[in-house]
Chain A
Amino acid sequence: KAGVTQTPRYLIKTRGQQVTLSCSPISGHRSVSWYQQTPGQGLQFLFEYFSETQRNKGNFPGRFSGRQFSNSRSEMNVSTLELGDSALYLCASSLGEGDTQYFGPGTRLTVL
């Protein structure tokens, strides 16, 4: 089976812009979770989607949003980018509750 894929792998944006990141889960996986990784804050949970429904959300401002499509692919959007949004964004997919999460290679976002 193909692993989790994320596009794009690298992205450079300027403050105030918005960005959309995409995640394609492992075939058959219906849960997609998103994480932000920074040197200062480590790995932090953004949100989780299962069957097109957001089931869980981390402590991030409303500028961070996401959605999931009927084929389980997920996107996350960050509006009005800030310098502090520069990070590695990881998505992970799993079969569902309690199942192991498998990670994609990440999208490296740089905000200038």
Chain B
Amino acid sequence: AQTVTQSQPEMSVQEAETVTLSCTYDTSENNYYLFWYKQPPSRQMILVIRQEAYKQQNATENRFSVNFQKAAKSFSLKISDSQLGDTAMYFCAFMGDSSNTGKLIFGQGTTLQVKP
């Protein structure tokens, strides 16, 4: 069974600095999708970034980028120039390709606090 592990329950960063959130996963599939979602206090789950496993290039979205290491089954999220609005819980999620369609497997989450 696939699993997703986020080893950092809580992190904090100063405004304008850079922070990296860690995520590892376990799967026997070769093709799959990885995501980072953000859940602010409003509880609305918001997509941050998506990575297809068949793409070697790391995904980036403005201040957010990932370090995808397929062999190591690692998928970390880097937030540059942190802003107060980045304060939220961040979830790493896995979706298999053909197996378990429509099912996201989530990590336990990392609570990130951005300090002024």
Which A residues contact B (CB, under 8 angstroms)?
Answer: 31, 33, 35, 42-43, 45, 48-50, 55-56, 58, 88, 90, 92, 94, 97-98, 100-103, 105-106, 108
Contact = CB atoms under 8 A, between A and B. Distances in A.
B108 to A, nearest CB: 5
A102 B103 contact: no
Contacts of A101: 95, 102, 104
Contacts, number: 58
A100 B47 contact: yes
A46 to B, nearest CB: 10
A55 B101 contact: yes
Given A33-B103, A56-B100, A97-B101, A102 B44 contact: no
B78 interface: no
Given A43-B106, A97-B98, A105-B42, 9 more contacts: A33-B103, A42-B107, A43-B91, A48-B101, A50-B102, A56-B100, A97-B101, A101-B104, A105-B43
